[in-house]
Structures are given as C-alpha cells and as structure tokens.
Structure 1
Amino acid sequence: MPVGDFAPAGSVPLTRDFFDRPGPEVAPDLLGRVIAHGPVSVRITEVEAYGVPGEDPASHTYRGRTARNAVMFGPPGHLYVYFTYGMHFCANLVCLPEGIGSGVLLRAGEVVAGAEVAVARRTAGTSRAVAPHDLARGPARLAVALGFTREHDGVDACPPGPVNVLTGDPPAAGTVRSGPRTGVSAAKDVPWRFWIDGERTVSPYRPHVPRRRAS
C-alpha cells in the first residue's frame, strides 16, 4: 500500500483521527473515498450514519453494549461487520472515541480494482451475470464484493491494518445529497443517508414496511 510523500494522489490511507468524529460528520466525508481489502477496492458512493447510545433508536448501540455490537464501542476506524436477515453481512466503520458507540454503514460503491474477484464472489455457485454498477450496489453486495465476513468484525481499517480507506476522489461541491435512512423503522426520517448525485451504483431508497402478522 503506497504511503508517504511519494504516494499517488488519492492512494494515501486515512488515519484514525478521520474517524474520531460524529458519524453524521464522517459519513458525507467518506463519499468518494476508496476502501481496499486485498485485491478489491471500492469507491464509496453511498453511506448511512448511526448515532450514539440512547439517542438514535435506529442504531445497534441504542440500548448499550452487547456481545454483538461490542466493536462499535471500540476505537474508531475499525470495521463493525454484522449478519442480518439470516443471510447477509453488512460493514460499518466505527466513529468517535472508544467507549461511545457510533458508526457509518457502507451502503454502496463502485468497484475500481479487482473487478474479476468481485464478480466471482458475487456469482459464486450461480451462472448469473452481474452488471458492473451492481457489483457493490447495496450494503450486502458491497460486503460480498470486498470479501467481508464475520471474521472481519473488529478488523482495523487504519494503517497498518489489512483494510484501508484511501483518500480517493471526493465528489465535487454540490453533488452530495442526503435523505432518510433505508429500511429502518425507528427514527426513519432522520436524513443521515448520504450519496453522490447521479451515481449509478447508489442503491434505491426503500422505506421500512412493517411485516404483517399471519392471521
């Protein structure tokens, strides 16, 4: 991983102080950055911020620390990877100082390196094709493309960790949009989802739909 004065533009890893801020501040600043894990790199085009315990009922940390969300209470700049709906992993970047409990969900991005590996991961065991803009379009797809699983929960995403978030190419002023978070039932109107306007890789907005109980 190139670092230092001779690193190409956009390839310098972000340091821990970048993440040592509130999630809603870090989230839009992550747009256009590149998250790299092994051969695959993804330019981030959509994120969602989640707040601190007791203040954001949509956050996994709302009711305090548990075995599942413990990483979110750790140092900033680590990955919080969780399993959802019994079939998908999703990846977050931890924000704020140790002990607080906040993060940013990586919702979507553009695969900018390692596309062949990302395609193989996304199509494993099937014969279906995946369009380039769909490779990391959605939090579960992004996690698959980058090869994140339960074992990556707690992995350091700051140097010299195995995952790095690079400076990348932040979007032009005026192209960042915000709106309600996707699919959450609590605090659903909080505008902490951020995306780059006009990017095909941004996932469609889906409001929470309560499940109907069988009669």
Structure 2
Amino acid sequence: ALQETKTLLEEQLADARARCSSLRELEKDNLLLRQRLMDVEMERDTERQRVDELLEMNMSLEADLMHRRTSSGSVAAQIVSIHERFLQSELDSDEELREMIDQKPLSVEVGEASTLRLLGAEQENAELRRRLEELQTQQEADSPDLKDELAGLELERQSTLREFQNLKNENATLKQNLEELLRKLQHLEVERKEGGVGKLVREEEEEKVVRGVQGSVTCR
C-alpha cells in the first residue's frame, strides 16, 4: 500500500511540475503578447498621425489647385475690364462733347468733337491693343508653366489619395491584429487563472494524501 501511495504521489508531483512548467510558459507568452499589443497600439497611433498629416496636405493641395485654376481665369477678367474701361471712356467723351456743344458754334463744335473723339478712340484702341498684346504674351509665357504646375499638383494629389487609401487599409489590418491579440490575452488570462486554481486543489489533495500516509505509518 505504501508503494502504491508513493507511486501515486510521484505521478501527482510530476503532473504538478508539468502544469507549473506549462503555467510559466503561458505567463511568458502573456508577457510577449502584452509587449506586442503595446507595439501595435504605438504603430496604430503613428499611422493615425500620418493619416491626419496626409489629410491636411491633401486639403492644402486642393486649395492651391483651386487658386491656380482661379488665377488662370484672371487674364480673361483683365481683358473684360479693359473693354469696360474703354466703354466708360466712350461715355465720358460723349458727356464732354455734349457740354462743349452747349458753349460753342455748331461748326467749331462739330470739328473739335470729331477730332477729340477720333483721338480718344485711337488712344483707347492703342492702349487696348498694347494691353491685349501684353496679356497674350504673358499668357503664352505663363500658360505652359501653369499647365505643368497644375498637372504636377494633380498628380501629387492623386498620389496623396492613394497613400491615404493604403494607410486606411494598413490601419484596418492593424486593428484586426490588435483584436486578435486581445482575444489571445483574454484566453491566456483564463488559462492562467484556471491553472492557479487547479494547482491549489492539487496541493490540498497531495497534502491530504501525505497526511494519510504519515498517519498510517504512525499507527503501525
């Protein structure tokens, strides 16, 4: 009977040692998973910061692109402004002619009015032609650079959007990994708690068996 009890105790002790070793491995894995969890959270925060920076850059590029497109239309606006000034000058000349007609003889007034109007029209026409030539020259000089710059900005914006989408995909993958790590941690916590409770129960049983063996030996 003592030999059987000894064998039983040795088996229980070996089993307890194996479970203790397994418990230590679980605790080690638990620590590694916690460290990995912290690393994943740091990576997620970094990716989130990069996404925010890319969003700000994208908004800035879109604003710059809109400004460039608006400024390219300013040439036509300048031409319209010159034409409006020319029309206003014509109206002002008509007003001056009316005032002169009220003060001078008809023949003199007609001659002076025709001369003044002709000179005014020639001056305005020359100014308009000069300004148009300047604007055309400026537009021809600026247009290739402006188009190239707009094309570059558009390419950069598209690249930013693609990078932003890639970051969103990476963020989703990191989120999945984080959830998987959390599930593993919870599973390890449950196993560790169950292992601790089982260890206490086994120790109590072993102590009872040892006491019973010692009692039987004493009685003999």
TM-score normalised by L of structure 1:
0.16
Q: Which structure features the higher share of strand residues?
A: 1
Higher Cα Rg, which structure: 2
Greater RCO structure (CA 8 Å; 6+ sep): 2
TM-score normalised by L of structure 2:
0.15
